[in-house]
Amino acid sequence: MTTQDLKHKVIDKVNELEDENILLDLIKMIDDSNIDNDMYSISLNHREAINKAIKQIENGEYLTDEQSNKQIDKWLNE
């Protein structure tokens, strides 16, 4: 079945639908599928924060999950 055949089949099925919720779900699903193809952009501030975090990780300037949980427990018990 070609892409064009599939499109016609989908259109025929949609035309048969009476359930508004299903139609809304279909619209959302189609809209969401287009999001995956869009290019995401981030602000300069976000990019700088990400680069700073990467450098901190590379320099060993981070806590493990266990270390951070211990630190949080300490703060909560003070």
| Residue showing tokens 């630190």 | 71
Q: What is the pLDDT of residues 1-47, one digit of tens each?
A: 899 999 999 999 999 999 999 999 999 888 877 665 555 678 889 99
Nearest to 67 by CA among 77, 59, 78, 75: 75
Tokens linked to 31:
């809209």
Which amino acid, one-letter code, is at 37? Answer: N
Burial of residue 42 (number of CB atoms within 10 Å: 0-12, 13-18, 19+) = exposed
Domain ranges for the chain? 3-35, 44-77
Least confident residue range of 13-17, 34-38, 48-52, 73-77: 34-38
Residue 40 DSSP symbol: P
Q: Residue 47 in contact with residue 56, Cβ under 8 Å?
A: no
